[in-house]
Structure 1
Amino acid sequence: MLGLAFLLAGCATTQAEAPRKPHRDFLVLDTHLDTPIHFARPGWSFAGHHDPATDLIQVDMERMEAGALDGGFFAIYTEQGPLSAKGYADALAFARGRSDLIDATLGKFPTRIGRALTAADARRLDGAGKLIAFKSMENSYPIGEDLSLLKEFHDRGVRLAGPVHGANNQFADSSGDTPKWNGLSPLGRKWVEEMNRLGMVIDASHSSDATFDQMLELSRTPLLLSHSSGRWAFDHPRNLDDGRIRKLAAKGGAICVSTIFLSNMNMTPERAALFTQYEHIADLTPEQQADLTRKWRALDATQPMWAADFERYMAMVLHVIEVAGVDHVCFGADWDGGGGLPGIADISALPKVTERLRAAGYSDVDLAKMWGGNILRVVEAAEGAAR
């Protein structure tokens, strides 16, 4: 028995001293990349080196390949206009163009990045040493009142979509607006059914609490929040409260924690003007882009957009994990869409998150789930329901 005790002690020591996986060895995904806003910039390449001092981009292939991020969902974001036939038509034309732009940009680098339509595609691409590109749709406003257009965007490769953005629309109430439908509209309920039928994951970020509740009840597949923070950290309607996080987890869903709204957004008139330029950065000359970056960085130094930093972010992340459990947490920082904080300014900081999670006691198995496994599980659930 004494010999057995020594043998077991030796095994325990060996296990404790076993090397832990470095960050680059995990399949690391992010569920909300606004990076396509940069894809049409004149004189700019997604593959090139971009100095943060002279370029606002937070995600590029050079940094992705350095091991911080293996891929994620590149967003088709469409600014919302009037809820009218012309508004819908204009938005649809824009969304189609943005979808084509994503395809054209990724198509320039076939040996380095590949399009993923399924969870199996993502794993295959990762195994082949390629970066992974899913497509998502932030705000379903562009499809107007024609739900058959969801199939068009599914055929275009979209696998994740939310009904609403910052204002109420034809489908649902937004977290950023005064209730109109008290949740989903009648058309919005049909939108949920069609999303399930097609096997597209429902994104509840930006939805009001009532919209979230109703989608959680109606959907036959788990919900994903592609870029939301915990309301525990800051009481803002864009964030999800602990009770809803638990309900999300109970139904198999996941919250991909963001870096935004851990404080009030310091949207001064000067910052708003810069954001307007930023949203149309592809229309600026290289010289105008450089000037925008200079002004943005100068404003960051004197009037930061967020009163939060990496430490506050990690406190929120750890709280959300405690509430939801490791099977229901993922990451969607809102890169290139307003995300990023001091200490976690772009994707090169992601290994720091892994280090902090390890220090909190989370294992390789836990980290693999949170960095990519939970996302692919939800994607697979949607695929399975469609079949």
Structure 2
Amino acid sequence: MSFHTVADTAPATSRAAAVELPLVIDGHNDLAWACREHHGYRVDGVGTGLPDLHTDLPRLRAGRVGGQFWSVWVDDETLHGAEQVTATLEQIDFVHRLAARYPDDLRLARTAAEARQAMRSGRIASLIGVEGGDQIDESLGVLRSYARLGARYMTLTWAQTIPWADSSTDEARSNGLSDFGREVVAEMNRIGMLVDLAHVSDATMSDALDVSTLPVLVSHSGARALCDHPRNVPDELIRRIGATGGVHMVAFVPSFVSQARRDWVVGGEHGEPPTVTVADVADHIEHVRDLAGVDAVGIGADYDGTGSMPHGLDDVSGYPRLLAELAGRGWSHADLDKVAHENVLRVLEASDPNHLTFLAGER
């Protein structure tokens, strides 16, 4: 089943001005933490508009968002141990309160079927992803508790290496996954929680692909061949993700998608930043498709998890411009469906039976 609508925002190219575009399920949005930091965890402003943030309901509607994995992230540089667990539970509570406050616009979804049902009803399917394995405080019981509360993926690390998994932006400790890290991945498979490989080191990514018996996702990263950033995925691992049925969801973060922007950041950010555009993001999407196939690529922007965004993708209203850009490059309706929502729903659906069995109390 596909979910289409005709774009009525300014397209990236006149060739696609009236193209029929699918609804988007985005893999990663940090609204929960942004509202913690700037709005005291209040949800009421989300419905009317939050001009200081990238995300609110009017712009989600303008952006044709049909589903969103809301990231529940914790700053592990300032919060530790049980503090992280508490903050994660607060983030999950925010997502539940948000959906309850706007029942005509949002619907909590745990499975692909529930996400599709929400989209059919005209609501935005609201899913939950935990952004960082340190947030389980080395407890499989905490991991399972997050899953019972609706979390459907966990990113194995954030920016710091943790005792059982190495991050892409920190020094290695386990040369990938430790024995406990492998146990975490196996338990995630058992309970139907998707293994998210954004942020992790290449060795951690490889180890997780070795251990996981179910398709994985990368919720928000680019392609390293186009932009040499450690947060991006090398070609050989993009191919492995595709070969094992996973999905690589491309981020919009300027320093992930533009080498010129990355060089400007590394060089100290002197002068005006190089412009990053919709076309730069589309290049990463096409690179993943060319390496791993059209079934392996999705969208995970990282709105409200970073500062500036590419021109034309400044906030969550911009997705139609990206899809119009791809349409202008010759992407078919069927392939736009895949990148917009079908691929991530397929990966979610592959783990749904395990998750439902887990929720039913069976082992």
- Report the TM range for the smaller structure's normalisation: 0.7 to 0.9
1:356 equivalent among 317, 320, 325: 325
Q: Deviations over 1:25-67 (max 9, x none)?
A: x23110001111233405861111344xxx2x11211112224
1:312 Cα deviation after fit: 2.1
Match of 2:35 in 1: 39
Q: Deviations over 1:315-343 (max 9, x none)?
A: 22222221121111000011111162122
- Correspondence 1:258-337 to 2 at 5 A: 258-260=251-253, 261-262=256-257, 263=259, 264=262, 303-304=272-273, 308-337=276-305
Q: Deviations over 1:236-292 (max 9, x none)?
A: 211111111111100000100012212327669x99xxxxxxxxxxxxxxxxxxxxx
Q: Which 5+ residue runs of structure 2 have no aligned equivalent?
A: 1-16, 358-363
- TM-score, with length taken from structure 2: 0.85
Is residue 48 from structure 1 mapped to residue 48 from structure 2 by the alignment?
yes
1:164 equivalent among 131, 152, 157: 157
CA contact (8 A) 1:76 1:98 kept: yes
Give the Cα separation in 2 of the matches to 1:74 and 1:321. 25
Q: Deviations over 1:115-149 (max 9, x none)?
A: 00100000001111111100110002121121111
Give the Cα separation in 1 of the matches to 2:77 and 2:194. 25
1:20 Cα deviation after fit: 8.0
Question: What is the SS of the residue equivalent to 2:167?
Answer: coil
Match of 1:152 in 2: 145
- Change in CA separation of 1:20 and 1:123 when aligned onto 2, cut-off 3 Å: farther
1:170 Cα deviation after fit: 2.1
Question: What is the SS of the residue equivalent to 1:145?
Answer: coil
1:303 Cα deviation after fit: 4.2
What value does the CA root-mean-square deviation take over the aligned residues? 2.4
Give the Cα separation in 2 of the matches to 1:163 and 1:377. 21
Return structure 1 stretches of 4+ with deviation > 4 angstroms. 265-268
Match of 1:76 in 2: 72
Give the Cα separation in 2 of the matches to 1:358 and 1:126. 22
Match of 1:280 in 2: none
Is residue 228 from structure 1 mapped to residue 221 from structure 2 by the alignment?
yes
Question: What is the SS of the residue equivalent to 1:178?
Answer: coil
- TM-score, with length taken from structure 1: 0.80
Question: What is the SS of the residue equivalent to 2:48?
Answer: coil
Match of 1:213 in 2: 206
Between 1:39-48 and 1:114-123, the stretch displaced more is 39-48
- Change in CA separation of 1:266 and 1:102 when aligned onto 2, cut-off 3 Å: farther
- Change in CA separation of 1:116 and 1:21 when aligned onto 2, cut-off 3 Å: farther
Question: What is the SS of the residue equivalent to 2:288?
Answer: helix
One-letter code of the match for 1:342? Answer: H
1:350 Cα deviation after fit: 1.1
Is residue 343 from structure 1 mapped to residue 341 from structure 2 by the alignment?
no
Between 1:146-155 and 1:67-76, the stretch displaced more is 67-76
2:194 equivalent among 174, 191, 201: 201
Q: Which 5+ residue runs of structure 1 have no aligned equivalent?
A: 1-18, 272-298
Match of 2:361 in 1: none
One-letter code of the match for 2:319? Answer: L
Match of 1:366 in 2: 335
User: Percent identity, aligned pairs only?
Assistant: 31
- Correspondence 1:79-158 to 2 at 5 A: 79-81=75-77, 87-158=80-151
1:106 Cα deviation after fit: 2.1
Give the Cα separation in 2 of the matches to 1:179 and 1:39. 32
Give the Cα separation in 2 of the matches to 1:307 and 1:237. 21
Match of 1:61 in 2: 57
Larger of the two Rg values belongs to structure = 1
Give the Cα separation in 2 of the matches to 1:216 and 1:99. 27
- Change in CA separation of 1:382 and 1:165 when aligned onto 2, cut-off 3 Å: same
Question: What is the SS of the residue equivalent to 1:46?
Answer: helix
One-letter code of the match for 2:87? Answer: F
One-letter code of the match for 2:134? Answer: Y
Number of aligned pairs? 330
1:307 Cα deviation after fit: 5.4
- Change in CA separation of 1:130 and 1:139 when aligned onto 2, cut-off 3 Å: same
- Correspondence 1:11-30 to 2 at 5 A: 22-23=20-21, 26-30=22-26
Give the Cα separation in 2 of the matches to 1:367 and 1:142. 34
